[in-house]
Amino acid sequence: MSVLSRLTRTISQLSNMSKPFLLYTFPTPNGVKVSAFLEELKTVYPSIQYDVESINFSKNTQKEPWFIKLNPNGRIPVLVDRSRNNFTVFETGAILLYLQQHYDKENNFGWDPKENPDEYSQSLQWIFFAHGGVGPMQGQLNHFNKAAPIDIPYAKKRYLDETKRLYGVLEIRLSQDRDWLVGPGRGVYSIADINVLAWVRVHAFGGIESLDEWPNVKKWVEAAHARPGFSAGLDVGRS
């Protein structure tokens, strides 16, 4: 599709106000974070509806000029909020926080920073943990196992060991009589979970065949998959 055709299509989509959101995505771990949360929001707030534009990595669509205008970093996902003057949000953590703060009116999936400052802070801590640790490390593990042009045993071992260590951090947290990462008692399912579950659930792709080494993490992933909302978001954007 030419740049002109793509721009025309985008303008048409932005002018179509039938659904509040337009999501540019593909079902990678980062893409799944946002689609899974949107689907979870839909289960509570039926007005949360969105259109999807699948981004074709094989054609490097995310690097085309029209997309760079939406996200200068040239990465998915990108969310356009049509109900707020086509406000654009990129970076998965920022999108999750944006959606939770603006559209989760009952705070089913997060916490108000004024009413529950401790839980809000803990949620941010686990979101940043995923962005600084699990995502980058497991992403590199995936790359060196699946995409690197040459075999580099050192790199494969380094990122495998670090990803396993980070799974161990999650295991420590969940082994403290918890079902979810944040919240009182056994915890409350929230964007803090969604943000890292999207990576851990595809552990086998990078060479971690089983989660048996981390039984509480395994149970946590299984519990998320049992949720209709989370499961509905796992394949959004596959053309």
Report the distance separating Cα 55 and Cα 74, nearest Å. Answer: 11
Among 3-12, 96-105, 145-154, the minimum mean pLDDT is found in 3-12
Q: For tokens 């054609």, what's the residue?
A: 59
Residue 66 contacts residue 1 (beta carbons within 8 Å)? no
What is the pLDDT, as a whole number, of residue 66?
96
Which conformational region is residue 86 in: left (phi greater than 0), alpha (psi within -120 to 50 degrees), or beta?
left
**Has residue 9 got a pLDDT over 80?**
no
- 57-75 pLDDT, tens digit per residue, is 889 999 999 999 999 999 9
Inter-CA distances, 52 with 175, 211, 218, Å: 37, 32, 30
DSSP 3-state of 174: helix
Q: How high is the pLDDT of residue 89?
A: 98
Average pLDDT of span 217-231: 98
Q: What percent of the chain has pLDDT over 70?
A: 93
Task: Give the pLDDT of residue 2.
Answer: 55
Alpha helices in 71-202 (DSSP H): 92-103, 117-129, 135-146, 153-174, 191-200
Token pair in block for residue 215: 């039984």
| Tens digits of residue pLDDT in 89-147 | 999 999 999 999 999 999 999 999 999 999 999 999 999 999 999 999 999 999 999 99
**What is the reported pLDDT for 239?**
74
Q: What pLDDT does 122 receive?
A: 98
Q: For residue 49, which amino acid is it? A: Q
Confidence of residue 7 (pLDDT cuts 50, 70, 90): low
The reported pLDDT for the residue numbered 58 is: 86
Q: How confident is the model at residue 45 (pLDDT cuts 50, 70, 90)?
A: very high
How does residue 210 score in pLDDT terms, banded at 50, 70 and 90? very high
Residue 4: pLDDT above 80?
A: no
Sheet holding 87-90, edge to edge: 50-54, 21-25, 78-81, 87-90
Percent of the chain surpassing pLDDT 90: 91
DSSP per-residue codes, 211-235: -TTSHHHHHHHHHHHTSHHHHHTTT
Contacts with 234 (C-beta within 8 Å, 6 or more apart), sequence order: 27, 32, 35, 36
